[in-house]
Chain A
């Protein structure tokens, strides 16, 4: 085609445009005539075989085609009189009579309708969803990613651009616009399809209530997009310009893109349902494997907090009540664990983003169905830990440490009261010995009583009366569940104090270790500014104070630090302390029992299980979790076995979907197992039921005396199998069966430990360092390479036991804790509860609760402890001192009374 100069093109367009009115006045369609004439002139120019078409060429051709086209037209005005082309109202609108001013009322109304429905409605709908998220809360989330927002914005933008172009120009639409329009049609079609299940309800809503335009916005946009496409094609036909071909590819592309983005969620939702409704284990595991391979973890997490995204499955879903406690919530969380190997509440979902999982999850979880329950459950919005203060006193010679942990919660929710719940891992062998709640600024001490009594009192006051209680009960081996309610909304706070008495872990006759308590599961956030304020005083030297703590002062036996919460769970390393070398026997008075007695504590070497008195240890069975948290354990086992010289019988199992033996050594060097382990490494994927593997391991290890099952695993947030089979073995197998040593490698809930911790053959391996260090320590003790040490306490009414200075009352508490375990194992629960109440301890048989008023205590049949009998950071008063103080006060009072009577 012969090229045209821009001036030539402009001259032609100008000549034709200024005669539009004349053509229209002749009864013709102006756009059509202009297009026909332009085509005619272009053909004439092509026939001339010019190198380039200039403005002069155009004028010559126009003179030949129709000389009038070169003259100014005498256009009739709307009133019927001729109007000059120089008329300012005409020059202001390049489209001439097609401009807005010349529009009829009807076409103007239609134009406004197109702008409102095609541009403003989708924009407004997007804005509404952005701000309030009504669809994400009740139906589906239409803007889960920024890409979705960009795609939706394309729809009103295309509509606006198309309307503008058609109104302001007579030229054909640009080719690129045709593709853009097609792409926007694909987008609106995809969303129309997504909202199709409720389209009819929305239509009825408009008719009956005048509401429902928002769900219909995609469909309306799609229809107006089709209309715009028709108009564009008409314009092209008039101008004799072919409409771009294959633009459907753009529509199909955006449609498929949105479908692809939605596919993981859809697949996840459907497969999740298959997993939950599976009738056989094989079916469920097959569904779980599909979820591991193709599932979307965000969708699963949303399902854990409340079912959503059911539109494609059930048209009535948007109108079903799904706000209440989901009947299958536990099942969903169980599947989530099987798929990810993690507890659903392990990581707090991201907050602060207007889109995605974070905000939606919190909107879904506004209502907390677990208030007053015995699990931490999911995160709730608005609740955070604002302040954390740890005060510690310890005595390495005496072997005890006492920690007071003050926690202050804050609730920033607008209207809802919150219950703060946390599972706290205590130092090994520790027990909560004090619980305080601040009520109107005053400290209120707890009542210690039977577990059922305190929980009933808490539920009555917290859930029914909505007043201020705080409850602490045990929650597995060396764990307690703390719950306090209500933390008031709009910035209200609640402050509690936990006193924890714990033995210092003996590492040798001259060395003990202090282990910090730790929050392992919670339903609240940590405030960004949160710092743990630490003050530890030890009467003996601390051997390895952490260099990263940022001391404000450092002396022998005193540490203070401000530890940002961002430092994570490894911010509190175990502290080693020096003690006197000789295994001194310490004593303290148990003056709360009758008759009064002394409790004596001494350090002694731990007896290593031996087979029938022979030098060889029993069988060692190692069960490693095949989930992601088992990877560290697997690596630590390999390293520990590589470095050991021990020999014996060893089996290593991995609990996967089922279980698998990965290494076997019969009376040989244990290090030979490493090579076999390397050949059979698991995939470390998903969460698994450990019970089949533990059963097999226990059976094998128990075939010889002194067997040990070492279970290495992560969090156990759900029980996928029945724990009774293991409970039975650990209880009935005492004396002949293998012991179960539990090594949890990451913090988190441990429901299996909660079930088994009271059994005599169960033993939780204290976490003093890294997994590798703890495992190495265990292996050395197991093989007899190093000596293990432990505290031994005994109570005696023999006055001869008492010599030298008395130690702290914490020794008696530690004795009482062990005694309660002993009584419980012998089914003397009443005595155990009484002893726990006497020494104010939270144990598996007892709990602590703080209520707000005396009336509440009275109604619950509980008595709060005397503040003077609780342990404290400052040296606690001995009973005799309290009695002397009381006697002195009575004497003073009596003397004053005598004087008063004498007057």
Chain B
């Protein structure tokens, strides 16, 4: 595999990683450790746990997710992440865009 492919993979992963986070949170709210563990298991993403936290902080600053602390009987307080209405709206828009892009990409191949 050439360097070109490596770079392309990195670009694709970067492009969809936020989508993965938002989709995971769209199902239900998750606390940070659980979310990171779940996302780091996504095949093909090649994510390390450490890289996810800055992303989630960025999403929170962008207003797409929100956090809350909850006391835990088994240890320190847990920080729960959930989608904001804006985050939910953005997720829908991203989903529509990605489906459209995928269809368009296939149509380009079919035509050729």
Contacts and interface: CB of A to CB of B under 8 A. Distances in A.
B97 interface: no
A40 B36 contact: yes
Contacts of B54: 23, 26-28, 33
Interface stretch (B1-9, B21-29, B71-79, B100-108): B71-79
A242 B78 CA distance: 10
A237 interface: yes
Interface string B34-76: 0010000000000011110111111011000000010100011
Interface in A45-67: 46, 62, 64-67
Contacts of B58: 26-28
A241 B71 CA distance: 10
A570 to B, nearest CB: 73
A237 B80 CA distance: 12
Nearest to B40: A65
A167 B99 CA distance: 48
Given A26-B58, A36-B53, A66 B32 contact: no
A712 to B, nearest CB: 74
A69 B53 CA distance: 13
Contacts of B33: 39-40, 43
A818 B32 CA distance: 107
A66 B57 contact: no
A613 to B, nearest CB: 102
Contact of B57 (A29, A43, A69, A240): A29
A28 B55 CA distance: 7
Interface in A224-263: 237, 240-242
Max chain A C-beta neighbours (<10 A), residue from B55, B57, B60, B69: B57
B69 to A, nearest CB: 6
Contact of A242 (B51, B56, B71): B71
Contacts of A39: 32-33, 76, 79
A85 B71 CA distance: 36
A37 interface: yes
A2 to B, nearest CB: 10
Interface in A1-59: 1, 23, 26-29, 32-33, 36-37, 39-40, 42-43, 46
Max chain A C-beta neighbours (<10 A), residue from B32, B54, B56, B76: B54
A69 B61 contact: no
A732 B94 CA distance: 115
Nearest to A67: B48
A43 B55 CA distance: 20
A241 B79 CA distance: 10
B74 to A, nearest CB: 9
Contact of B60 (A32, A69, A240): A32
Contacts, number: 67
Given A23-B57, A32-B57, A36-B56, A1 B75 contact: yes
A68 interface: yes
A1 B49 CA distance: 22
A240 B76 contact: yes
B50 A69 contact: yes
A734 B56 CA distance: 107
A29 B48 contact: no
Max chain B C-beta neighbours (<10 A), residue from A32, A42, A46: A32
A433 to B, nearest CB: 92
A8 to B, nearest CB: 17
Interface residues of B, number: 21
Interface residues of A, number: 26
Contacts of A36: 32, 53, 56-57, 79
B50 A37 contact: yes
Contact of B50 (A27, A29, A66): A66
Contact of B53 (A27, A40, A42): A40
A240 B53 contact: no
B90 to A, nearest CB: 16
A241 to B, nearest CB: 8
Nearest to A27: B58
A237 B69 contact: yes
A67 B46 CA distance: 13
Contacts of A40: 32-33, 36, 49-50, 53
A62 B57 CA distance: 19
A242 B75 contact: no
B61 A27 contact: yes
A23 B58 CA distance: 9
Interface string B81-105: 0000000000000000000000000
B50 A42 contact: no
Nearest to B54: A28
A40 B51 CA distance: 12
A240 B69 contact: yes
Contacts of A66: 48-51
B77 to A, nearest CB: 5
Nearest to A31: B57
A28 B61 contact: yes
Nearest to A32: B57
Contacts of B49: 40, 64-66
B69 A242 contact: yes
A23 B60 CA distance: 14
B93 to A, nearest CB: 20
B58 to A, nearest CB: 5
Nearest to A1: B75
Nearest to A36: B53
Contacts of B69: 237, 240, 242
A64 B36 CA distance: 13
A36 B79 CA distance: 9
A37 B53 contact: yes
A174 to B, nearest CB: 17
Nearest to B76: A240
A237 to B, nearest CB: 6
A436 B76 CA distance: 90
Interface string A869-890: 0000000000000000000000
B28 to A, nearest CB: 19
Nearest to A25: B54
A782 B61 CA distance: 102
Interface in A536-591: none
Contacts of A241: 76-77
A191 B49 CA distance: 51
Contacts of B76: 39, 42, 240-241
A240 B71 CA distance: 10
B53 A33 contact: yes
Nearest to B47: A66
Contacts of A29: 57, 60-61
A817 B75 CA distance: 99
A361 to B, nearest CB: 56
Given A28-B57, A29-B61, A66-B51, A240 B79 contact: yes
Contacts of A43: 33, 75
Interface in A653-690: none
A242 B57 contact: no
A40 B56 CA distance: 14
Contacts of A69: 50
Nearest to A37: B53
Interface in A183-223: none
A276 to B, nearest CB: 58
Max chain B C-beta neighbours (<10 A), residue from A23, A62, A66, A237: A66
Contacts of B79: 36, 39, 240
6 contacts: A28-B54, A33-B57, A43-B33, A62-B50, A65-B50, A68-B50
Interface of B: 32-33, 36, 48-51, 53-58, 60-61, 69, 71, 75-77, 79
A-B pairs, 10 with minimum CB distance? A66-B50, A28-B57, A28-B54, A36-B53, A65-B49, A66-B48, A65-B50, A27-B58, A26-B54, A32-B57
Interface of A: 1, 23, 26-29, 32-33, 36-37, 39-40, 42-43, 46, 62, 64-69, 237, 240-242
Given A42-B76, A62-B50, 14 more contacts: A23-B54, A28-B54, A32-B57, A36-B56, A37-B50, A39-B33, A39-B76, A40-B33, A40-B36, A40-B50, A65-B49, A237-B69, A240-B77, A241-B76
